[in-house]
Amino acid sequence: AQSVTQLGSHVSVSEGALVLLRCNYSSSVPPYLFWYVQYPNQGLQLLLKYTSAATLVKGINGFEAEFKKSETSFHLTKPSAHMSDAAEYFCAVSDPTGTYKYIFGTGTRLKVLA
């Protein structure tokens, strides 16, 4: 069965510092992976996706993620944090073998310190 683990429910970084949000997946076959961002009282917005093309994926707002099969990881990074990046971030995986379900991690709340 698919599963997603996000290490660190809360992460704080200083403005201008590197952002690193961790995501590990468990899957018997290479999955499709997604990162979403959620601002308070809003739905989730797609940041980027991995669907078996390039392992380094660039997304919106300067974020990128690298798929590492050997580590079963898909960590999200941004070189320089902005105050506007403060939000909750979710990693998700879908099953490439045919079900229509998506499995989400429990989320990481990012705080950006001035």
Q: Which residues bind another protein (CB under 8 A)?
A: 9, 32, 34, 36, 41-46, 49, 51-52, 90, 92, 94-96, 99-102, 104-107
* Residue whose CB is less far from another protein, 70 or 100: 100
- Checking 45-52 for CB contacts under 8 A at 24+ apart, the result is 47/76, 47/89, 48/76, 50/74
* Residue whose CB is less far from another protein, 36 or 74: 36
* Residue whose CB is less far from another protein, 43 or 84: 43
* Cα separations in angstroms, 57 against 1, 42, 87, 88: 25, 25, 20, 20
- Tell me how far, at minimum, the Cβ of 102 lies from another protein, in Å: 6
